[in-house]
């Protein structure tokens, strides 16, 4: 499905990013993934990708750094000749109610989750325009659509991603580039292990399907957007939440 395609996945060493990196490789793509602190985990994912017969590249890069993003894209282009797919996934949360949230909490989350996505879209856009081909998928959240108590910074960043996706879809469409977003509900990743059980149960109670999501549920939809099955879909936001939003 993605044979001969090259992909960049930000935050590809853990959780959703790891699942997405492996899914793209299973579907035929070579995958470059970045990490900021988790080198061992990133290299372990790369080894799994290589075991599938695909190429893997591991790059230390801070997504909040404009320069790091450009260097990573340049490195992938230099080593593999092109960048066909970009999946922006790296993100953090640092929760607090609005009247107690610090400037540092706000800036850190916005710089990672929203500016980090801009950094990579800005870096790949000239390449994809020149190629007349590209697939960009951005991970947002249902909380970017509805808001969430205690997550003003996170929800604002995820809502901003949706605006970024729709604008990029308009600007890059005539160059053969599609830009879409996937909005997960609560997904059972390592990050969620720190969540109080009552909070997990509250999210479970919201779902129509009566189950919480797994990373593969999101990865399948991301890979679909990267494939030619979705060649006439752009500017869309697909929820993967088991009916949690409704």
Give catalytic residue positions: 154
CA angle 143, 199, 93 (to 5 degrees): 45
The single residue listed with the structure tokens 């919201």 is 206
Single out the residue of 199, 173, 169, 170 nearest to residue 186, CA to CA. Answer: 199
Phi, psi of 174 (to 5 degrees): -70, -10
Q: What is the rounded CA–CA span in Å between residue 47 and residue 40?
A: 11
Residue 177 corresponds to which tokens in the numbers above? Answer: 């580039």
Beta strands in the chain (DSSP E): 6-9, 30-35, 56-60, 85-88, 134-139, 177-184, 237-240
Q: For the sheet containing 6-9, what is the strand order?
A: 56-60, 30-35, 6-9, 85-88, 134-139, 177-184, 237-240
CA 198, 95, 136, 8 torsion-angle sign: negative
- Burial tier of 193 (Cβ tally within 10 Å: 0-12, 13-18, 19+): exposed
Single out the residue of 238, 40, 70, 243 nearest to residue 139, CA to CA. Answer: 238
Under DSSP, the state recorded for 151 is B
Give Rg (Cα) of the chain: 17
């Amino acid at each position: 499905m993605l044979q001969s395609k090259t992909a960049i996945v930000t935050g590809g060493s853990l959780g959703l990013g790891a699942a997405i990196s492996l899914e793209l490789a299973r579907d035929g793509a070579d995958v470059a993934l970045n990490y900021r602190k988790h080198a061992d985990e990133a290299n372990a994912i790369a080894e799994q990708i290589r075991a599938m017969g695909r190429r893997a590249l591991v790059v230390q890069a801070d997504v909040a750094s404009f320069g790091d993003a450009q260097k990573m894209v340049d490195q992938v282009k230099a080593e593999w000749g092109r960048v066909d797919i970009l999946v922006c996934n790296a993100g953090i949360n640092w929760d607090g109610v609005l009247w107690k949230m610090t400037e540092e909490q706000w800036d850190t989350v916005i710089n990672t989750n929203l500016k980090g996505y801009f950094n990579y879209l800005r870096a790949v856009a000239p390449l994809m325009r020149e190629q007349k081909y590209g697939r960009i998928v951005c991970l947002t959240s249902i909380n970017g659509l509805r808001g969430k108590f205690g997550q003003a910074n996170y929800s604002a960043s995820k809502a901003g991603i949706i605006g970024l996706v729709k604008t990029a879809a308009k600007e890059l469409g005539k160059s053969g580039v599609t830009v879409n977003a996937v909005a997960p509900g609560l997904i059972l990743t390592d990050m969620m292990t720190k969540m109080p059980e009552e909070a997990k149960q509250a999210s479970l109670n919201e779902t129509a399907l009566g189950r919480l999501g797994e990373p593969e549920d999101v990865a399948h939809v991301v890979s679909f957007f990267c494939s030619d099955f979705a060649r006439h879909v752009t500017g869309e936001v697909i929820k993967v939440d088991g009916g949690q939003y409704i």
